[in-house]
Structure 1
Amino acid sequence: MLEPNDKALLPEGLHDTLANDAEYEAETVNRLLSSFTAQGYARVEPPLVEFEESLLSGPGAAQSRHMFRVMDPASQHMMGVRTDITGQVARIARTRLKNAPRPLRLSYAGQVLRVKGTMLRPERQFVQTGVELIGSDSFQAYVEVILLAHEALSAVGVEGLSLDLSLPLLVPAICQGLSIEENTASIVREALNARDVGQLETIDGKIGDIARSLLSAAGRADKALEILEGLDLPARARRMCDELAQVVTILADVAPGLHVTVDPGEYQGFEFQTGIGFTFFAKGVRGELGRGGRYEVNAEVAEGEAATGFSLYLDSLMRALPEAPEPETIYVPFGTDLSELPALRAEGYRTVQGLEPAGDAVAEARRLGCRHLWQNGAVKALV
């Protein structure tokens, strides 16, 4: 039981966001959503809590261990608090918007909650926003979604952006094409994901040579593509690498300032992806700003359709932005004609009204944190 003085304590990974930071974050979310809307992505808003089975279907299956669960007193069914919004948007697409024209472009923003954080993301509750492009398996869908994320992040002021591309199913495709037995295939995949050089050195044969080449390919996109092009790969794996090359080539043309890297063996965090996965980072910022890629909506009932999307995480994203600007707040002394205030607000000032007479209006304005004072019908800046 908490003592009276401990009642302000919050559980680990949860925090209060205070002014002006809360307002700055809300403005950032609105600017991101405006970028999405400008490119035809219609906003949807799923609920914070759903039946557990619904949240854990499709893309949500990988989130089971992260989910808070509660019993619904009305239905007596287990419910879950969402840990990710992607699966909810996929549900909307396959049910409420099943008959809507494809490709379907949807955007979203909302709070998510997870059982525990990670070293890079200790926060357990944060805002997630993003888009889903549903109903197209074109490589151009990758380009549209990646460029949209790049444009939106740049528009809110993120600098030093980098993009890391991965092929989560490349190693399984290679192992399957070479008829590698399951245990060896698992070892290869785990070692590449962990960049375990020692483990890869113990693997013999063609798959060992390919695996070591894939590890050396991790890094700059141009170097990675050169190494991948020189590998003798099974047909399915070769198609994956060719698609990756197409995407990288287009990005280099239309977004030359975007630093692009490739890690062909990474799959952790992309467990439900069926094609290229990607992650956005910013120089000097802890944790990824967002991630996305290709997946399949409704895959669990063999009626799936391709989808490509990304999610941005506001906890990391806000660390990549300049500090929240100080608001232009103006103190309006008690007794001021209230009809004068709308004009001030129209000019961008935030008016703080005195509720009782103050002997020193300047001192009162400063005490309340105002940067300006309304005095004798004019704005006075306070140094």
Structure 2
Amino acid sequence: MQSWQLPEHVADVLPTMARQLESAREQLLALFRVHGYELVQPPLMEYSNSLLTHIDAGLSLKTIRVADQISGRQLGIRADITPQVARIDAHLLSANNGINRLCYAGAVLHARPDGFFSTREPLQVGAELYGYDGIAADIELVDLMLKSMALADFGDVLLSLGHIGVFRALAEAAHLDREQSAQLLALMQDKDAEAVRKLVAGWQLDGMWAKAFSLLPTLYGGREILAAARAKLPDLSAVGKALDELQAVCDAFPEQALHIDLSELRVDNYHTGLLYAAYGAKSHDAVARGGRYDGLGGHFGRARPATGFSFDLRTFIGRLPDAGRSPVIMVAQQDAAAAREAVAELRAQGQCVIVDYGMEHNGSANIAGRLKNIDGSWQIVGV
């Protein structure tokens, strides 16, 4: 094997794609900025416990760990930026007891890819709102997520909604332990109501809870699912609150294509409430995912309500207009020193000026003119 080959699921980004990524990043951060979200840039690595690997098994498996040669402690290379932003809100921005709107854009590293075609180095972009526990905050973030999708050509976008609160309310009422909850969550992903029924039957649960868990994998579809859930699920206040929140989101986006799934629970362990995702017209997986994760900052000394979403910026490649390379102004090598001031002025204006060494170069196809001295002044002439 060649020593220069990259690890599996890791790839270089070449100029055309790099321009698209940077263009998408600029547009998204500009969108976040006009909605009041301020940019933060957490470090690529921290002590592994600060990345919450000790409380989230899925996140722990994704995190690459190395020994810190200075402190001797274990470092983690971030696999998710959300815990870092929660730390910033809880600690560095603790003087603000009101709302913090924060956004970010940076690389994360995964020990293993999420799927066969997934990269191990996603470029994670996201927005988070801390300090307000009302459903209006979730609606604001869903709206911003959909606006982010609208910047690129994803076709007709489908908004998918779920709520971890429904399952957790049932699990608590049925007195399930953590291991039982984890087993049920795994089966829910396959929409296998029969497997769920057999599992809960073996636990000899009260019939009402056994029926409710068996129903959850069947409660998916359009907006009508909420009425069906109210009619069929046990009358628990926490279940009712979760359904009310889902209804509020549906009402906020009356024209949006929408799918509700009460067993769609593919979440990190830190999520606590509403779950939302956006799918493109030809996307086999969600382009963006988000949800509520109240209390995450408690691991850093300040528990706060929070909601937010993120996505891999690489999904925007090929879905934005080609940014193209800037037109190039050439200056001959022998003229470069004499034309230094003219070149500096053109570059300050945003023009791309490169020195011509008499060889082919990667700007050859974009030459817009040449800088030449005509009657004592430097002027751009056509090629």
| Structures share fold, TM-score greater than 0.5 | yes
1:35 corresponds in structure 2 to: 31
Q: Which runs of 5+ in 1 are unaligned?
A: 359-363
Residues 213-252 of structure 1 correspond to what in structure 2 (within 5 A)?
213-220=215-222, 222-233=223-234, 234-252=236-254
1:262 is matched with 260
- Name the structure 2 match of 1:304: 303
> Which position in structure 1 is the counterpart of 2:135?
139
Aligned residues: 365
The aligned residue for residue 361 of structure 1 is none
Residue aligning to 1:97: 93
1:314 has 2:313 as partner: yes
Cα pair 1:94 1:297 within 8 Å, conserved = no
> Of 322, 325, 340, which aligns to 1:324?
322
- Shift in Å, 1:338: 6.6
Letter in 2 for 1:329: P
- In structure 2, list runs of 5 or more residues that go unmatched: 202-206, 373-378
Distance 1:26 1:182 in 2: 43
Contact 1:162 1:259 in 2 (8 A): yes
Q: CA 1:186/1:118 → structure 2, altered by over 3 Å: closer, same or farther?
A: closer
Query: Is residue 277–residue 286 contact of structure 2 (8 Å, CA) maintained in 1?
Result: yes
Preserved contact between residue 193 and residue 215 of structure 2 (Cα < 8 Å):
no
Give the distance between the partners of 1:326 and 1:162, measured in 2 at CA: 30
Task: Output the aligned Cα RMSD.
Answer: 3.2
1:288–1:316: 8 Å Cα contact kept in structure 2?
no
CA contact (8 A) 1:328 1:348 kept: no
Deviation sequence 1:56-87 (CA, Å, 0-9, x none):
26886641111111111111111110001000
Change (3 A) 1:181 1:342: closer
CA 1:59–1:37 in structure 2 vs 1: closer, same or farther (change >3 Å)?
farther
Instruction: Deviation per CA, 1:133-192: give whole Å up to 9, x if none.
Output: 111110001011111111122134543222211112312312433557888766554332
Cα distance, 1:282–1:39 mapped onto 2, change above 3 Å: same
Aligned partners of 1:298 and 1:365: how far apart in 2?
A: 51
Match of 1:124 among 114, 120, 125: 120
Q: 1:310 and 1:66 mapped to 2: Cα distance?
A: 19
**Corresponding position of 1:210:** 212
Alpha-carbon distance change, 165 to 115 in structure 1, aligned in 2, over 3 angstroms: same
Structure 1 equivalent of residue 292 of structure 2: 294
* 2: CA distance, partners of 1:235 / 1:380: 74
Q: Secondary structure at the match of 1:30?
A: helix
Q: Which has the higher contact order (CA 8 A, sep 6+)?
A: 2
C-alpha distance after superposition, 1:286-326 (max 9, x if no partner): 5422211101223458952210011121123335x146343
Question: How far apart are 1:98 and its partner, in Å?
Answer: 1.4
Which residue identity is paired with 2:195? Q
AA aligned to 2:316 is L
What does 1:143-222 align with in structure 2 at a 5 Å threshold?
A: 143-178=139-174, 188-200=184-196, 202=198, 205-220=207-222, 222=223
Deviates more, 1:136-145 or 1:343-352: 343-352
1:54 CA drift (Å): 0.9
Q: What TM-score, normalized by structure 2, do the two folds share?
A: 0.83
Aligned AA for 1:267? L
Offset from partner CA, 1:25-45 (integer Å, 9 cap, x none): 022112111111111111111
Q: Which amino acid is the alignment partner of residue 45 of structure 1?
A: Q
How much has 1:340 moved relative to structure 2?
6.5
What letter is aligned with 2:247? A
Map of 2:16 onto structure 1:
20
Q: Amino acid of the residue matched to residue 253 of structure 2?
A: L
CA 1:181/1:13 → structure 2, altered by over 3 Å: closer, same or farther?
closer
Q: Identity of paired residues, percent?
A: 24
Query: In the aligned structure 1, how far is the partner of 2:229 from the partner of 2:175?
Result: 20
C-alpha change, 1:120 and 1:314, in structure 2 (3 Å) is farther
Letter in 1 for 2:244: D
* SS of structure 1 residue aligned to 2:28: helix
Cα distance in structure 2, aligned partners of 1:232 and 1:19: 54
C-alpha separation between the residues in 2 aligned to 1:273 and 1:371? 52
SS at match of 1:20: helix
Residue 115 of structure 1 aligns with which residue? 111
* Aligned residues of 2:40 and 2:104 also touching (Cα < 8 A): yes
